[in-house]
Amino acid sequence: MPPERKKKWQQDTYEPAIGKSPERQPDFTLTSGMEISPLYTPGDIKGIDLEESPGYPGEYPFGRGIQPTMYRGRLWTMRQYSGFASAEESNRRYRYLLDQGQTGLSIAFDLPTQIGYDSDNPLARGEVGKVGVPIDTLKDMEILFQNIPLDKVSTSMTINATAPVLLAMYIALARKQGVALSELNGTVQNDILKEYIARGTYIFPPAPSMRLTTDIFEYCRREMPRWNTISISGYHMREAGSTAVQEIAFTLANGIAYVKAALDRCLDIDEFAGRLSFFFDAHNNLLEEVAKFRAARILWAKIMKERFGARDDRSWMLRFHTQTTGCSLTAQQPYNNIVRVALQALAAILGGTQSLHTNSYDEAYATPSEEAVTTALRTQQVLAYESGVADSIDPLGGSWMVEKLTRDIMEAAERYIDKIDSLGGVLAAIEKGYQQREIQESSYRYQKEVEAEKRVVVGVNKFATPYEKLKSLNKINPEEEKKQMASLTKVKQQRDSATVKASLENLRRVAAGNENTISAFIDCVEALATVGEICDTLREVFGIQREYVII
């Protein structure tokens, strides 16, 4: 580009013919600190062969998508992450959403269930049913899926430390429904590493936790070939304050650790890698997010092919679920959240997601109301059926800006992965506090930029109006906790205590040895052992993990 033309386009001021233009933010940078060029031209992607990288949709390295026809062949799975109050209330919400056109379930479990405590445990008081559905025994799981045939629905379960217990319940329920395990379709999150890095709902130390993760890999490879055995999650790290680059770098590094653990178990890479899935955040910067998703696909394909020698093209594919950004939702001017979610969902779709959850506008206040969750689902449907973005296989492919951002994000993420390798791998880096520190610093930097108005949050640090709370909120009835405890007491009174004791003793024996634990978990839940009893047994065998102190 001639220097005089380049100078012209580098001017970041604009004088309109009439009126005054809105002020812009003082700098033009991505969350990762990369500067945005005022204009992108073919020169910015000089040296990038777009036929080789990112290639064509459905072909290695899958930068343009993992399916040759993408959404022209089939739309993404529309999910709404949901669970609250009780199994009965959550079941009603699931059936309502399915009636409204949702195409997959996404189960939110309450905090006691996530960390292995029963609803009647004193430590669970006040938390039962608050951030998800309480599940104590197989009886609760039966109620949760009442009138929902498991062979007709794809189910995603957001559960990690207690993943084998909840998966065992799902398996036991399928048996009760007469559904073959080979017909079950869905995902269990089962990603314990990101709990140590960002989320905190771990129970056991890393070594036994990784064993439980790979037990699921091994069992499902044999018995549940359509089941995604893990959802390696960057979402929670992004919610904790990571940048887009850190999100994919730390997520893919965790993926490397899981693959190594499975290989150490002597599993064949092409027998399990095709069922690995990922879970990413869709944040506010539309084009940065699109580039992030493309970069993640290319990086993972190369990691699996070049680092691990996978041969099956399904092993190279990065399949991912996306959720719009919870941390971007504001209590101020909450209806602005509808616009934010629409933009974030658009980024996920343009980035090639296989599954999508859209947050509800009232989530900064409470568990989503029926009205809000319906609006969130309708957002996906409008994008799918009215916007036209699903009509072309890769609408942004070849965009000079998107291709340049993709390359920049890839290179920055590779540097992080190399750093983690140099520290001895993911677990060693976590013990040193590396990922945690990087995320904390990014989160702090972003908040300082918001406070200084270098980054605008509409309705918060700019264009603010008097604070007004939503008038209609979904409130959890405190009586639901009492009902759950009463139900649990009834199950304990009616079950066969000797069978429960025998199943827990068998679990203790298996956990203390080297056998795969999943069959023992299934025996426990079928005997109506509780989540808390099962986890207490494992606490005695494995011990518990204390929080890493980051200095």
Residue 481 binned pLDDT confidence (cut-offs 50, 70, 90): very high
pLDDT digits (tens, 9 = 90+) for 84-96: 999 999 999 999 9
Residues 6+ apart with CB under 8 A from 473: 362, 365, 366, 369
Residue 355 shares a structural domain with residue 433: yes
Does residue 460 fall inside a structural domain? no
Per-residue pLDDT, averaged over 318-330, amounts to: 96
Residue 34: pLDDT band with limits 50, 70, 90? confident
Tell me the whole-structure pTM to 2 decimals.
Answer: 0.93
Do the domain assignments include residue 310?
A: yes
Quickly state the pLDDT bin for 549 (edges 50, 70, 90): low
Same domain as 500, residue 415: no
Query: What pLDDT does 23 receive?
Result: 58
Higher pLDDT, residue 430 or 42: 430
Q: 244-264 and 206-223 helices cross at what angle (nearest 10)? A: 70
264-305 pLDDT, tens digit per residue, is 999 999 999 999 999 999 999 999 999 999 999 999 999 999
Statement to judge: residues 228 and 102 lie in one domain: yes
Q: Is 222 exposed, middle or buried (0-12, 13-18, 19+ CB in 10 A)?
A: exposed
Who's near 194: CB < 8 A, 6+ residues apart?
A: 160, 232, 233, 234, 236, 237, 250, 251, 254
With a pLDDT cut of 90, the percent of the chain lying above it is 83
> Which positions ≥6 away from 214 have C-beta within 8 Å?
258, 261, 262, 265, 267
* 464 alpha-carbon distance from chain centroid: 31
Q: Do 428 and 353 reside in the same domain of the chain?
A: yes
Query: How far apart are the C-alpha atoms of 374 and 323, rounded to whole Å?
Result: 16
Judge if 414 and 496 occupy the same domain. Answer: no
CATH number at residue 67: 3.20.20.240
Residue 198 three-state SS: helix
Q: 107 pairs with which residues across the strands?
A: 82, 157
- Paired sense of beta strands 227-228 and 230-233, if any: unpaired
Query: Mean pLDDT, to the nearest integer, of 365-372?
Result: 89
201 falls within a domain: yes
Which of 51-60, 151-160, 216-225, 292-301 has the lowest average pLDDT? 51-60
- Alpha-carbon distance of 285 to 170, in angstroms, equals 37
- Quote the pLDDT of residue 220: 96
- Is residue 478 one of the residues assigned to a domain? no
Establish if 364 belongs to a structural domain: yes
The rounded percent of the chain whose pLDDT value lies above 70 is 94
Shared domain for 104 and 178, answered yes or no, is yes
pLDDT at position 1: 52
- Which of 393, 425, 451 is the endpoint of a domain? 451
Last residue of a domain, one of 451, 480, 511: 451
Q: Which of 451, 476, 509 is the last residue of a domain?
A: 451
Q: Same domain, yes or no, for 176 and 310?
A: yes
444 DSSP 8-state letter: H
**pLDDT bracket for residue 49 (50, 70, 90):** confident
Radius of gyration of the chain measured on its C-alpha atoms: 24
Instruction: Indicate if the pLDDT at residue 334 is higher than 60.
Output: yes
Please give the Cα distance from 159 to 187 (Å, whole number): 10
Residues 190 and 328 in one domain: yes
- Asked if 413 and 504 sit in the same domain, the reply is no
Q: How many residues are given for the chain?
A: 551
Q: What is the pLDDT of residue 11?
A: 55
Q: What's the confidence (pLDDT) of residue 14? A: 45
- The pLDDT score that the predictor gives to residue 17 is 47
Q: What domain range is 497 assigned to?
A: 490-542
Would 16 be classed as within a structural domain?
A: no
Q: Which long-range contacts (CB under 8 A, 24 or more apart) does 420-424 make?
A: 420/249, 420/250, 420/253
How many structural domains comprise the chain? 2
Asked whether residue 39 is domain-assigned, the answer is: no
Instruction: Kindly list the distances between the CA atom of residue 350 and the CA atoms of 98, 286, 300, 344, in Å, as whole numbers in the listed order.
Output: 25, 9, 19, 10
Q: What is the pLDDT of residues 381-416, one digit of tens each?
A: 999 999 999 999 999 999 999 999 999 999 999 999
pLDDT of residue 473: 79
The predicted pLDDT at position 16 comes to 46
Residues 400, 45 contacting (CB under 8 angstroms): yes
Q: Which of 12-16, 169-173, 215-219, 536-540 has the lowest mean pLDDT?
A: 12-16
SS3 at position 427 = helix
- Alpha-carbon span 35 to 27, nearest angstrom: 8
Whether the per-residue pLDDT at 191 is higher than 60: the answer is yes
Same domain assignment for residues 534 and 429: no
What's the mean pLDDT when you consider all of the chain? 92
Q: How confident is the model at residue 490 (pLDDT cuts 50, 70, 90)?
A: very high
525 has pLDDT over 50: yes
Distance CA 216, CA 210 (A): 10
Considering the domain boundaries, does residue 551 fall inside one? no
Whether residues 507 and 388 share a domain: the answer is: no
Same domain, 500 and 373: no
Partners of 201 in beta bridges: none
pLDDT of residue 28: 80
Q: What's the mean pLDDT in 87-109?
A: 93
Does the structure show a pLDDT above 60 at 190? yes
Place of tokens 């409204």: 100
Q: Which of 164, 94, 185 is CA-nearest to residue 520?
A: 164
Query: Does residue 26 register a pLDDT over 70?
Result: no
Beta strand segments in 86-236, E: 104-108, 154-158, 185-188, 227-228, 230-233
